[in-house]
Amino acid sequence: IDFSLDVSNEGGAALPPGSGRSTERATSSSEPVYAPPQSARKIEQPSQALADPRVVSLLQRVFGTRKYQLRKALRERDVEKNGRLREDEFMDALLSVAPQLSDNDSYLLADKFFPTTNSSIDYPLLLDSAFRT
C-alpha cells in the first residue's frame, strides 16, 4: 500500500475540500492579532495600596506575628503557582489566618488591592513590602 501523497500539481486533492484555504489562512500574517480590551487585562496594584499607611498598619497589626502562616495560606490558594491571587482567593487566605478580621478591615484591604473585578495581586511583593524588616 502506497501512503505517499502527490504534492506536485494536484497535491491539494489529497486534502478535504476547503481545507486548502484554512492552511493558507494559518500561514498568512495579514490578519490582525487579537488583543484583549484594556478592561479585560489583569491589574496589579500592591505598591499603590501599600502607600496607604492604614493598609500597612492593618497588615502589620493583624498579621505581624503570623507572617509565616499568612504566606503559607496565600501559597496554598495559588493554584497556578504564579504568585498572583484574585480577590476571593486572597481574602479567603486572610480570613483563614485571622478570622477575627472585621468587616471594615476586610473592606479596606479589598478596596485598596482589588479596585476592579479583574484585579489580581502579586502576594510575594505584598509580603515583602508590608513586612520589610
50: domain CATH number is 1.10.238
The residue segments making up the domain with residue 119 are 43-130
pLDDT at 41: 43
Q: Is residue 96, in this structure, part of any structural domain at all?
A: yes
In the block, cell 473592606 appears at: 107
Q: Is residue 111, in this structure, part of any structural domain at all?
A: yes
- Distance, in Å, from the CA atom of 63 to the CA atom of 59, rounded to the nearest integer, reads 5
Q: Is residue 35, in this structure, part of any structural domain at all?
A: no
In the block, cell 498572583 appears at: 84
- Report the SS3 class of residue 85: strand
- Distance, in Å, from the CA atom of 119 to the CA atom of 131, rounded to the nearest integer, reads 22
Q: What b/e string do you get for 101-120 counting C-beta neighbours within 10 Å, with b at 16 or more?
A: beeebeebbbebbbeeeebb
**Number of domains composing the chain:** 1
Q: Is residue 10, in this structure, part of any structural domain at all?
A: no
- Distance, in Å, from the CA atom of 87 to the CA atom of 107, rounded to the nearest integer, reads 11
Q: Per-residue pLDDT for the chain (133 aa), expressed as one digit of tens each?
A: 666 655 555 555 555 555 555 454 555 455 555 454 444 444 445 556 777 899 999 999 999 999 999 999 999 999 999 999 999 999 999 999 999 999 999 999 999 999 999 999 999 999 999 998 5
Cβ 47 vs Cβ 129: under 8 Å: yes
Q: Is residue 120, in this structure, part of any structural domain at all?
A: yes
Task: Please state, in angstroms and as integers, the Cα–Cα distance from residue 14 to each residue in 1, 9, 27, following that order.
Answer: 16, 11, 19
Q: Is residue 74, in this structure, part of any structural domain at all?
A: yes
pLDDT at 44: 46
Q: Is residue 28, in this structure, part of any structural domain at all?
A: no
pTM: 0.64
Q: Is residue 25, in this structure, part of any structural domain at all?
A: no
C-alpha cell at 62: 493583624
